[in-house]
Amino acid sequence: MAGVLIDDGDILLFDEPLAALDPASGHQSIALIDELHQQLHNTVIIIEHRIEDVLTRPVDRVILMAKGKIVADLKPDALLRSNELQQIGLREPLYIEALRYAGCDLNHIDHIDNVNALNAEVLAPALQSWQANATVPVTIQSGEPLLDVRQLSFCYENGPQIFHDFDLTINRGDMLALVGRNGVGKSTLSQIITGFLTPSAGTLTYHDGHTDIDLAKLSVKERADKIGYIMQDPNQMISQVMIRDEVALGLRLRGVDEAAIKQRVDDTLKICGLYPFRNWPINALSFGQRKRVTIASILVLQPELLILDEPTAGQDWRHYTDMMTFLEQLNQQGITMMFITHDMHLMLEYANRTVVLGDQGVMLDAKPSTVLSNPTVVSAAALAPTSLYQLAERVHIDPDAFTQHVIATERKVRR
């Protein structure tokens, strides 16, 4: 940004400035853009999927595009009262969704574009009576330990100490969200587990039925048979021209015979919804579809544990929901998952357990909603409560229970 500002241009165009930022940095970045706009009086255009975060600062117009056309050009309050976002498969701000579920008439709500300016007294009765119908969610029990990380230490060459005496257990069947501020070491941890990086101390023990395996004794390739790792950027993983070859690559490297490869690749492509594209070149696919190809190329090796680095970053809500529903199904079929995310709602909606990584190791290991109800952890880990928390607090409903109810309703609506 500093580099661009030197040129003193009249228009500043930001293409997904928030993608891959932790929630607190996301809010700071939008605030910074707003301050620049006030100081420089230039025209600012922001392209974003994180609509809710952008709207935390005043925006003059929101333009929606679909199929090469502008389908809406509105002020934020008019946009939020309409259902234009829903119609093209984009996510509305969470508090707007909640107000709709509770049957509030959005046309008669003042300051609809700012959750902190809503008239709490007027909205409280409807929200409270909606909340009174909430059912208690079932909690999922964790399984046996699958991977034990013990007393891990790691330091990049000439870099900072990232882990010191670090412990973590991933349990069988977990759908675990790994969160924490930018640069805290989430990707580094994934790369230590998969063997791309070697720790200076500590053990990684993988529990394979009744046998305990010391991962240090396995090569990267052998580990990949058990633990699949999907990088944030699919383009960093893809090396083949055709989809079928990309998905088959791991099996070819392992010397599997071609007939078996064909069968397993076909099966996996079907599971991933890519079978119709099987003979396409990869460069004809969108970012989200490529992400699926990389997942397919890992799944075909039948790992028991999948580590996904920001599986939904840079994707619109429809693709995000497709991706997460797909991962949820895999989890229900018995694959253990750990996913890294900066999206707090995604964590609330899909994880059964959240591990918050801080500078001193695991800061908190708890149910996702418990994490966001802890202000100390939220601020130390650069997380942010969602707008559902703000809305619930303003109308005196327990934020945790309210969020659970919104999530449960959303799932019902989606199905």
Give the C-alpha separation, 166 to 100, whole Å: 44
Which partner in ligand ATP, Mg ion, none is near 156 (CB below 5 to 8 A by kind)?
A: ligand ATP
Site for ligand ATP in 128-167 (CB under 6 A): 156, 159-160, 162
Among the listed ranges 105-113, 184-192, 205-213, 367-375, the one in contact with Mg ion (CB under 5 A) is 184-192
* 129, HSE (Cβ side, Cα atoms, 13 Å): 7
Binding string, residues 135-174; x marks residues near Mg ion by CB under 5 A? ----------------------------------------
- Cβ proximity to ligand ATP: between 166 and 402 the closer is 166
Which tokens is 8 given? 């003193």
Which partner in ligand ATP, Mg ion, none is near 281 (CB below 5 to 8 A by kind)?
A: none
Concatenating the DSSP letter of every residue in 147-178 gives: EEEEEEEEE-TTS-EEEEEEEEEEETT-EEEE
- Cβ proximity to ligand ATP: between 156 and 287 the closer is 156
Contact with ligand ATP (CB under 6 A) among 80, 170, 184, 298:
184
Q: Report if residue 188 touches ligand ATP, rule: CB under 6 A.
A: yes
Q: Report if residue 187 touches ligand ATP, rule: CB under 6 A.
A: yes
Site for ligand ATP in 5-24 (CB under 6 A): 22
Biggest CA–CA distance in the chain, Å, is: 68
Q: Residues of 266-275 as b/e, b for ≥16 C-beta within 10 angstroms?
A: eebbebbebe
Give the C-alpha separation, 111 to 108, whole Å: 10
Which residue shows structure tokens 């900072």?
Answer: 160
Q: Residues of 110-119 as b/e, b for ≥16 C-beta within 10 angstroms?
A: eebbbbeebe
How many residues of this chain interact with Mg ion, rule: CB under 5 A? 2
CB of 338 to ligand ATP, least distance (A): 13
- Cβ proximity to ligand ATP: between 159 and 255 the closer is 159
Give the C-alpha separation, 125 to 120, whole Å: 9
Which partner in ligand ATP, Mg ion, none is near 38 (CB below 5 to 8 A by kind)?
A: none
Give the C-alpha separation, 176 to 352, whole Å: 6
Which residue shows structure tokens 């293409």?
Answer: 15
CA 188 to chain centre: 17
- Cβ proximity to ligand ATP: between 173 and 185 the closer is 185
- Cβ proximity to ligand ATP: between 76 and 180 the closer is 180
Contact with Mg ion (CB under 5 A) among 29, 187, 289, 404:
187
Q: Report if residue 287 touches ligand ATP, rule: CB under 6 A.
A: no
- Cβ proximity to ligand ATP: between 68 and 159 the closer is 159
Which three-class secondary structure string do you get for 300-311? CCCCCEEEEECC
- Cβ proximity to Mg ion: between 179 and 274 the closer is 179
Q: Phi/psi at 180 (nearest 5 deg)?
A: 155, 165
Neighbours of 287 (CB within 10 A): 13
Which partner in Mg ion, ligand ATP, none is near 68 (CB below 5 to 8 A by kind)?
A: none
CB of 185 to Mg ion, least distance (A): 8
- Is the distance from CB of 49 to CB of 16 less than 8 angstroms? yes
- Contacting residues toward ligand ATP, per CB under 6 A: 22, 156, 159-160, 162, 180, 182-188
- Contacting residues toward Mg ion, per CB under 5 A: 186-187
